[in-house]
Structure 1
Amino acid sequence: MQIYDYMNVLNSIRRKVLYRGVSELGESNSNLLRAGITLQLKEVGVLNDIRIDQIGKMEKKHTDMFRKKNVASAYDPTKKLNDMKINLTYMEWYMKGQKSKGGYYDAYKNAKTREEIVTQQEILKRQRDLTKYWKKTVEEKDRMPQKEGAKLRKRWLYGGSNYRRIVEPLEIADHYKSGNTNYIMSRSDHYKLLEKWSDEDKKDSRASDTKRNTVASLTEDSCFWAHVEEALISLTDLVNGGSTDNEQRLEEFEAYVMREIENYAVSLDIFVDGSSLMKWWNEYKAYKGTAYASEFAQYMNGSYNLYK
């Protein structure tokens, strides 16, 4: 069987009809817009009643309309980005109100009351709108072959980083709440690219040479809670007599969290009572016993309340 190229056939027919129409109407140039208007007037039988200057006015009106439409389209991406900022602002407002419920991540993951579920549905709607927009934006930028095209402009990059740090934790929550594991293996490509571009931008920026000395308002690693969930799984397996490889995984997790703390790269809500990190730490401390000593254990036993 052959794949037939209907597009070429349609284009050929279209050209022949237009050129034939132009020829029949005596147009000396191939002004397709004027020819199209003239052909339509001829079809409805009013061509002879229309003056040539009126056809010119119709042509100008259509040209102006197309021009205005193109100008509006040029600004549309910025308007769309601003619309997405409204959704993100709403989600930030939601984040700030969840401290008493174990923090943003766990409040979303463990929503139980009617009020919490209704609020969660509103968050999900905004999450879907944001993800649809950013997936499309990243796909369009990634298709461009030039280095400049492969990176989002500063404004989009900043917005994309905030989106990733606010929205991805909710996807992680849904992933583990459904009984799944190893989120990072199934992580969406648009998150990976946004993170990659952000890291490249930091390397290119002189500001990256200055070490952060204030606590991040948003945890910089948007996969932080996936690491916490995997640590909880490893600990449960270890307590139940599973592989001793879990010991090494948990030590690596300790070192990872400690690095993030030292770099002020995690937000305060990770230490909120009832958070998944604090749940892990309390269970891990009970498993290890009071004699256990490590840099992270020392920090959690005395200094984490000073993190600010």
Structure 2
Amino acid sequence: MKFSNEDSSQVYDYMNVLSSIRRKVLYRGSSELDEFNLNSLRAGINLQLKEVDVLSDITNDDIEKMENQAKLNKRKKNPYEPTKKLNEMKISLTYMEWYMTGQKRKGCGYYDGYKNPKTREEIVGQQEILKHQGRLNQYWKDIVVEKDRMPQKEGAKLRKRWLLGGNNYRRIVEPLDIAEYYKKGNVKYIENRPNHYKLLEKWLDEDKDSNSSEVTRIKAASLTEDSCFWAHVEEALILLRNMVNGGSINADKELEEFEAYVMREIENYAVSPDVFLKGSSLMTWWNEYKAYKGTAYASEFARYMNKASYDSYK
């Protein structure tokens, strides 16, 4: 397994999110929202939030701000706006973020909650998210292919706004693609990783290298920066279980490299705190690894986990 660090700012633009929601809302009758006594735009917002099960997490002040932004956007609307499609994709990405928030509120991580839905409600919510996931994947695959074929000067990799938006998409959506991949019993995701993800990451790294100013992170990332993090976890689980069952006798070194990789990500605040939630794939791996290694095993990562230092990781 090969591991690398990544450090870049999280940029998320909600421009035109609400105006698009207004166009897409299905009016299901007033009875469902009688208690809100809201106008049609506000009612539509609440219906969409309820659909992805995050209505209770969004304050009235937040909705009012978003509604005001939508009205402002409408007044400024330019029919020749070249970023219209990008803004439409941000609608789908917003739903993905709301879904993520809902999973965390339920106490299960974004990755594992998606991979292993436990209730009918969670399965229905996942089906809705799959629609947005599919739209986003198709859009960014097309964009990356188009830009990669252009002459370097004309394509300029991806313009800054697309570059940041594309890598925000990568961090949110690729973990779900990884979940689907391993759920089907596949292995070695990174060797079979879709090319558009690799290029988005490569272009971001090149842009970062050309930028002399680098900000040191002082708190945990809201999104795990390495979008292949869960693929590394899955491979570590497979290696460990094969070794325990006698299928591999040379995996100790690779598992220790995996330990070191996770520890680097922690020290760089590059993983989201939800990776340490009880029942997450990482915690499952750690508990099985600790049982295999025994209580006398010592390493920097083992000390961190045995002391439950992750409880203060924020």
Which TM-score bucket, shorter chain as reference? 0.7 to 0.9
Equivalent residue in structure 1 for 2:270, among 265, 274, 281:
265
Q: Does the C-alpha gap of structure 1 residues 115 and 151 become closer, same or farther in structure 2, counting only changes over 3 Å?
A: same
Listed as ranges, the matches of 1:181-196 within 5 Å are 181-196=187-202
2:204 alignment counterpart: 198
Most deviating of 280-289 and 144-153: 144-153
2:236 alignment counterpart: 231
Could you state the TM-score of these two structures normalised by the residue count of structure 1?
A: 0.74
1:252 alignment counterpart: 257
Listed as ranges, the matches of 1:107-186 within 5 Å are 107-147=113-153, 149-186=155-192
How far residue 101 of structure 1 moved from its aligned partner, in angstroms, is 4.6
Q: Which runs of 4+ in 1 moved over 3 A?
A: none
Equivalent residue in structure 2 for 1:96, among 81, 85, 101:
101
Distance 2:236 2:155 in 1: 38
Higher share of residues assigned helix: 1
How far residue 150 of structure 1 moved from its aligned partner, in angstroms, is 4.3
Distance 2:161 2:238 in 1: 38
Mind listing any 5+ residue stretches in structure 1 that lack a counterpart?
A: 1-70
Q: Does the C-alpha gap of structure 1 residues 143 and 233 become closer, same or farther in structure 2, counting only changes over 3 Å?
A: same
Deviations 1:125-182 (A, max 9, x none): 0000001110111111111122561411111111101100000000100000001000
Distance 1:193 1:235 in 2: 31
1:33 alignment counterpart: none
Partner SS state of residue 220, structure 1: coil
**Percent of matched pairs sharing the same residue:** 72
Could you state the TM-score of these two structures normalised by the residue count of structure 2?
A: 0.72
Distance 1:301 1:138 in 2: 43
1:222 alignment counterpart: 227
Deviations 1:22-48 (A, max 9, x none): xxxxxxxxxxxxxxxxxxxxxxxxxxx
Distance 2:238 2:172 in 1: 24
Equivalent residues of 1:101, 1:274 under 8 A apart: no
Equivalent residue in structure 2 for 1:275, among 274, 277, 280:
280
Deviations 1:224-281 (A, max 9, x none): 0000000000010111122222111100100110111111111111011111000100
Partner SS state of residue 85, structure 1: helix
How many residue pairs align between the two structures? 235
Partner SS state of residue 185, structure 2: coil
Mind listing any 5+ residue stretches in structure 2 that lack a counterpart?
A: 1-77
